[in-house]
Amino acid sequence: MTSPTIVLYPSPGMGHLVAMVELGKFILHHHPSLSITVLVAPPSFNTGSTMDYVRHISATVPSITFHHLPAVSLDLDAFPSMEAVIFEVLRRSNPDVRRALESISPRVSAFIIDFFCTESLPIAAQLHIPTYYFFTSGNYILAFFIHFPFIHRSTTKSFKDMTGHLLHAPGVPPIPTSDMLRPMLDRTSSDYQNFLNFSMSIPNSAGFIVNTFESLEPKPLEAIRQGKCNPGGNTPPVFCVGPLLDTENRRGGRDEDECLKWLDKQPCKSVVYICFGSLGLLSAAQLREVAVGLERSGKRFLWVVRSPPSEDKTKRFLKPPEPDLEALLPGGFLERTGERGLVVKSWAPQVAVLNHAAVGGFVTHCGWNSILEAVCAGVPMAAWPMYAEQHFNRVVLVEDMKLALRVEQAEDGFVTAEEVERRVLELMDGAPEVRKAVEEKSVEARAALADGGSSVAALGKMVDLWNSA
């Protein structure tokens, strides 16, 4: 019998592609006889880095095959958000996805999609291929999405007009409407509709593969498995296969080696690391405020600084230019803090940084990968959300999981220098419960991925299903 082919279909954008490839590597590591093909979504933005990455993986993991979907032409300026662009690119690619699924041989036994790729689910259903979602965020938000159609039907208002309301989903702490996913705040937007479509499609999928581990988020997992999030309806099985980390997340910049060498010279757990994911940009005023807060804290720091967002709408989706640190940071800041701080331009090798013995705290934007990376490294967090589902993540991290301190923000997200100073001091010198909880989860994360661990067992169950399909 030929071994099954598994097709992975991530949405555009490096983060989604990298996460899906990590899943492919994990599958192949434990089940090397399977064939893995990755459909590479048409280039829409950040093309160069995507292609470099695909070439790198093709060279280093030749058992993963890449199938490139043809380009679609799109006027990016006509779209209100990056999410809207992604949904439209994928919608237009559907005929090519169908052709790919029909042409891949041996026959496709499982189609694993990103949640942005929801509209390809009916295509796979027509071809009688079971479709699994690969969820690159956690079980809390999955529980919320499974329950979301009920919340949608319970009101006619937009979340942005429901100030002070709390949203309730089984297994999830009450979520203030103001902490809902940024693209879902306006009920009349296409983004809201796209997320609702995803939620409504969940019962039609064969299962959810989640980048988490069983003991990290047990409450929502239990609620999902008991069918409480979709009472009266179908809830597909959930397979927790994480934490899957991109341990090679290096972009090859000169500063990357420099920051690891600098960390080598710092005392154990003395450095606070500040980084806002792959896309987080601070305004010029906010950068100065962070600098003042860091300087006043007196703590050692490693800070990834990017140029502020461009005011030119046509540059929204482009990578910002390298920051001019002298111009952006307060006069004399770099000289005054040079002994105890390092400012890195644009990018740091985050996984290596978090696992360095010198790092004792992480000010994070609460992207799911950053959270998992901190958990695995056992580094406590201060939560400063910016975009996407990060405000939601902050609520569960602080209120339920107790793995992070809350950074107080003004309504527009601004954080004062006083708050930066206070929170950095608390993170580095206090917060014993948070430190203890993160260290415990770090041990559990390693156990989940070890032979016989829960994530390896979940993968085994899934592969059994594929083999018998």
Closer CB to ligand UDP, residue 25 or residue 31?
25
Of residues 281-320, those binding ligand UDP (CB under 6 A): 304
Residue 272 interacts with ligand UDP (CB under 6 A)? no
Count Cα neighbours of 46 within 13 Å in the Cβ-side half-sphere. Answer: 20
Q: Is 211 in the site for ligand UDP (CB under 6 A)?
A: no
Question: Whole-number minimum distance, CB 279 to ligand UDP, in Å?
Answer: 5
**468: CB partners within 8 A, 6+ apart:** none
- Binding-site member from 93, 212, 235, 249 for ligand UDP (CB under 6 A): 249
Our CB check for ligand UDP shows the closer of 39 and 82 to be 82
Burial of 63 (0-12, 13-18, 19+ CB in 10 A): exposed
Least Å distance, CB 350 to ligand UDP, is 3
Strands 166-169 and 172-176: antiparallel
Instruction: Give burial (CB, 10 Å; 0-12/13-18/19+) of 24.
Output: buried
Q: Which is nearer to ligand UDP, 123 or 388 (CB)?
A: 388
Does position 242 interact with ligand UDP (CB under 6 A)? The reply is no
Handedness of CA 253, 258, 260, 266 (dihedral sign): negative
Write down the least CB distance from residue 164 to ligand UDP, Å. 28
Asked if 181 and 389 count as a contact pair (C-beta separation under 8 A), the reply is yes
Q: Which is nearer to ligand UDP, 111 or 368 (by Cβ)?
A: 368
Residue 405, classified by CB atoms within 10 Å of its CB into exposed (0-12), middle (13-18) or buried (19+), is: buried
Instruction: Please say which residue, 306 or 435, places its beta carbon nearer to ligand UDP.
Output: 306
Closer of 93 and 350 to ligand UDP (Cβ) = 350
117: burial class by Cβ within 10 Å (0-12, 13-18, 19+)?
A: buried
Report in angstroms how near the CB of residue 366 gets to ligand UDP at its nearest: 8
Interacting residues with ligand UDP between 400 and 419 (CB under 6 A): none
Q: Of the two residues 304 and 425, which places its CB atom closer to ligand UDP in the complex?
A: 304
Instruction: State the nearest-atom distance from the C-beta of 246 to ligand UDP, in Å.
Output: 5
When the beta carbons of 104 and 366 are compared against ligand UDP, the nearer one is 366
Q: Which residue in this structure is represented by tokens 């189609």? A: 111
Structure-token pair, residue 246: 């991109």
373 makes contact with ligand UDP (CB under 6 A): yes
Residue 15 touching ligand UDP (CB under 6 A): yes
Residue 212 engages ligand UDP in binding (rule: CB under 6 A): no
State the maximum Cα–Cα separation within the chain, in Å, rounded to a whole number. 69
List the one residue from 144, 192, 273, 347 that touches ligand UDP (CB under 6 A).
347
The single residue among 134, 135, 192, 368 that binds ligand UDP, judged by CB under 6 A, is 368
User: In sequence order, which residues have a C-beta less than 8 Å from that of residue 338 and are 6 or more positions away?
Assistant: none
Q: What number of other Cβ atoms are within 10 A of residue 243's Cβ?
A: 24
- State the minimum distance, in angstroms, from the CB of residue 171 to ligand UDP: 22
Q: How many chain residues touch ligand UDP (CB under 6 A)?
A: 18
Quick check: 329 binds ligand UDP (CB under 6 A)?
no
- Which among 117, 99, 105, 146 has a CA at the least distance from the CA of 17? 117
The strands making up 359-364's β-sheet, listed across from edge to edge, are 341-345, 300-305, 271-275, 359-364, 381-383, 404-406
Angle at which helices 454-468 and 14-30 pack, to 10 degrees? 80
Residue closer to ligand UDP by CB (options 46, 178) is 46
Among 5, 44, 139, 350, binds ligand UDP (CB under 6 A): 350
Q: Integer distance in angstroms from the first to the last C-alpha of the chain?
A: 12
Residue 259 binds to ligand UDP (criterion: CB under 6 A):
no
The reply on whether position 279 binds ligand UDP by CB under 6 A is yes
Q: Near ligand UDP by CB under 6 A, which window of 139-147, 364-372, 393-401, 405-413?
A: 364-372
Six-digit token string for 379: 């580094």
Least separation in angstroms between CB 379 and ligand UDP: 12
> Residue 40, Cβ neighbours under 10 Å: how many?
19
Closest CA to 145 of 89, 93, 183, 190: 183
370 binds ligand UDP (CB under 6 A): yes
Q: Which among 42-50, 147-155, 169-177, 274-282 is the span making contact with ligand UDP, rule CB under 6 A?
A: 274-282
Of 206 and 352, which has the nearer Cβ to ligand UDP?
A: 352
CA distance 211 to 27: 13
Residue from the set 20, 259, 351, 381 that interacts with ligand UDP by CB under 6 A: 351
Q: Least distance from C-beta 198 to ligand UDP, angstroms?
A: 17
Burial of 444 (0-12, 13-18, 19+ CB in 10 A): middle
Query: Least distance to ligand UDP from the beta carbon of 276, Å?
Result: 8
Site residues (vs ligand UDP, CB under 6 A):
15, 246, 249, 275, 277-279, 304, 347-351, 367-370, 373
